Amino acid sequence: MDPIADYLTRLRNAIKANHRIVEVPASNIKKEITKVLFDKGYIQNYKFEEDDKQGKIKIALKYNPLTKQSAIVKIERISSPGLRKYSKSATLPRVLNGLGIAILSTSKGVITDKEARELNIGGEVLCYIY
């Protein structure tokens, strides 16, 4: 149905079960979202594995060593195939007053809301993460 929602749900379920590594089927949009999560420090590491089908993404989740709490507190899908949510550069969302990030799909690729403000472009709001 919705591959991005499936990707986010797999991450959410792995965090609730305190897994260290989660495997998800690969696609180009999922690879880009994973790169953004790694660049912003929400995951520890990732690896793309190719096979004879579509490939897999192995994601090492990040936890606080003292409190055992995940770096990702909440991950929420915003735009869905049935109801797309677009935002102009002037009305880009702020997640937790700037503490979280919104991941957008733009003409410049998959970027965060802060990068989209700097580039002065809008796009489809894929998800919120904090």
Provide the CATH number for the domain around residue 78: 3.30.1490.10
pLDDT value for 35:
97
The whole domain housing 121 covers 3-129
Question: One digit per residue, pLDDT tens: the chain, 130 residues?
Answer: 899 999 999 999 999 999 999 999 999 999 999 999 999 999 999 999 998 889 999 999 999 999 989 999 999 999 999 999 999 999 999 999 989 999 999 999 999 999 999 999 999 999 999 9
pLDDT value for 51:
86
How far apart, in whole angstroms, are the C-alpha atoms of residue 113 and residue 16?
26
pLDDT value for 117:
95
pLDDT value for 1:
82
Q: How many domains does the chain have?
A: 1
pLDDT value for 53:
86
pTM (two decimals): 0.93
